[in-house]
Amino acid sequence: MDEERGRLLNVVDVEATCWAGQAPPGQVNEIIEIGLCVVDVVAGERVAKHRILVRPARSKVSAFCTELTGLTQSEVDTGVSFAEACALLAREHQAASRVWASWGDYDRKQFARQCERGPARYPFSGRHINAKAAFTDAYDLRKRPGMAHALTVAGLPLEGRHHSGADDAWNIGALVLDMNRRNGWPQPD
């Protein structure tokens, strides 16, 4: 099975600016970290872990966001623009040709929202798998669990910091491999 047919999968997890309540006037949720884990579903292993810091253009990192993600305004200020991050995903991670997955639909929708605002081009292929829905089906659960709870259900450890995009993508990659071993991972079209 070659890459085009689904051997390599990009697992993506984003962290975005957030607040304890509503966004302050004039600010919007923006991606500030893109975590990416490349999974070789044929070999059954996670083969790469990447982190892209993204400099927000229309919001600031709140104290609540720093507490949740560990990211600070000064740290994300060193990141690339969102358009550059999308171009990097397309160029260096073959995002336009690889199947990709995220835990739920938030990440996919957040990318779509930000790309609609311009000037970034949507970097991903149309072949997205909702790993949370796949896990719920594979384990025959009534409710869709959060990623950390899913690790507990699967008997897997939480590696790294929860709500770190790179660490969460790595952990979701472990869940994808668990589902693949159980024949519960959907095969791409």
- CATH assignment of 3-181, given 3.60.10.10, 3.30.420.10, 1.10.10.1200, 3.40.50.300? 3.30.420.10
> How many CB atoms within 10 Å of residue 152?
12
Domain boundaries, the chain: 3-181
What confidence score (pLDDT) does residue 154 get? 98
Q: What is the mean pLDDT of residues 165-179?
A: 98
Provide the angle, in degrees to the nearest 10, between the axes of the packed helices 106-117 and 82-92.
120
For residue 97, give the nearest of 74, 123, 117 by alpha carbon: 123
What confidence score (pLDDT) does residue 2 get? 43
Mean pLDDT over each residue of the chain, to the nearest integer: 95
* Rounded Cα–Cα distance for residues 23 and 28 (Å): 6
What confidence score (pLDDT) does residue 5 get? 55
Q: What percent of the chain lies above the pLDDT cut of 70?
A: 96
Inform me whether the pLDDT recorded for 95 exceeds 90: yes
Inform me whether the pLDDT recorded for 148 exceeds 90: yes
Q: What is the mean pLDDT of residues 80-87?
A: 98
Dig out the tokens for 103 from the structure. Answer: 């835990």
For residue 57, give the nearest of 27, 24, 14 by alpha carbon: 27
Inform me whether the pLDDT recorded for 1 exceeds 50: no
Cβ contact 87:59 at 8 Å: no
What confidence score (pLDDT) does residue 118 get? 86
Convert the pLDDT of each residue in 17-69 to its tens digit. 999 999 999 999 999 999 999 999 999 999 999 999 999 999 999 999 999 99
What confidence score (pLDDT) does residue 187 get? 80
Please report which confidence band the pLDDT of residue 3 belongs to, taking 50, 70 and 90 as the band edges: very low
Q: What is the mean pLDDT of residues 70-91?
A: 98
* Rounded Cα–Cα distance for residues 126 and 100 (Å): 9
* Rounded Cα–Cα distance for residues 85 and 130 (Å): 22
Sign of the C-alpha dihedral computed for residues 79, 80, 85 and 88 taken in this order: negative
What confidence score (pLDDT) does residue 189 get? 61
Work out whether strand 8-16 and strand 99-102 pair parallel, antiparallel, or are unpaired: parallel
Dig out the tokens for 67 from the structure. Answer: 């507490």
